[in-house]
Amino acid sequence: MKKLFFSDYRNVYSDSDVFLMIQHLIKKECDIDIPLKRMAIAELIKHINSSTLLSKTLDLVIDFDLFDGFTFLNNELISNVDFDSYSDSDRIKIKAISFSEAILFNLYLGRLGFKQDPNLVLQLNYGKDYVESNYDEIYSYTKRKVYSGLLTHFGNQPEEIKQDFYKKALSSIAQLDYENATNTFSEEKQLFRDLINPIAMVVRQDNFPEIPISTNSYPKIFLGTDDKGYQLFREFVNLTQIKEHKDWSFFFQFLLKDEIIWPIKHSTFVDWLYSEGYVNQDFCDEFEQKRNFTSLKKVKGNALLNTYKQLRKKHFGNY
pTM of the model as a whole:
0.49
Asked if residue 151 lies in contact with residue 194, where contact means CB atoms within 8 angstroms, the answer is: no
**HSE-up of 164 (CA within 13 Å, CB side)?**
5
DSSP state of 217: S
For 243, phi then psi, to 5°, come to -135, -30
Asked if residue 28 lies in contact with residue 54, where contact means CB atoms within 8 angstroms, the answer is: no
pLDDT of residue 276: 86
Task: Domain ranges for the chain, please list them.
Answer: 2-115+122-133, 228-316
Nearest to 105, CA basis, from 144, 72, 146, 148:
72
Q: How far is CA 89 from the centre of its chain?
A: 25
**Cα–Cα distance list, 17 to 6, 21, 22, 48, 111 (Å):** 18, 6, 9, 10, 30
pLDDT by position in tens, the chain (length 319): 788 899 889 888 888 888 888 888 877 788 877 777 777 888 899 999 998 988 888 777 666 665 554 444 555 566 667 888 889 999 999 989 988 888 887 776 655 555 556 667 778 888 888 888 887 777 777 766 666 666 766 667 777 777 777 777 777 667 666 655 656 667 667 776 777 664 433 433 344 344 344 567 887 888 877 888 999 999 999 998 998 999 999 999 999 888 898 888 888 899 999 888 899 889 998 998 888 898 888 887 778 888 999 999 998 886 5
Distance, CA of 261 to CA of 253 (rounded, Å): 10
**What digits encode the pLDDT tens for the residues 14-53?**
888 888 888 888 777 888 777 777 778 888 999 999 989 8
**What digits encode the pLDDT tens for the residues 216-263?**
788 788 887 788 899 999 999 999 899 899 999 999 999 988 889 888
Transcribe 64-82 into DSSP letters: TT--S-HHHHHTTTTTT--
Distance, CA of 39 to CA of 37 (rounded, Å): 5
Asked if residue 240 lies in contact with residue 307, where contact means CB atoms within 8 angstroms, the answer is: yes
Return the number of other C-beta atoms located less than 10 Å from residue 85's C-beta.
10
Nearest to 244, CA basis, from 277, 276, 287, 275:
287
Distance, CA of 36 to CA of 214 (rounded, Å): 30
pLDDT of residue 249: 92
**Cβ contacts of 181-187, under 8 Å, gap ≥ 24:** 183/216, 183/219, 183/220, 185/143, 186/214, 186/219, 186/220
Helix (H) or strand (E) holding 125, with range, is strand 124-126
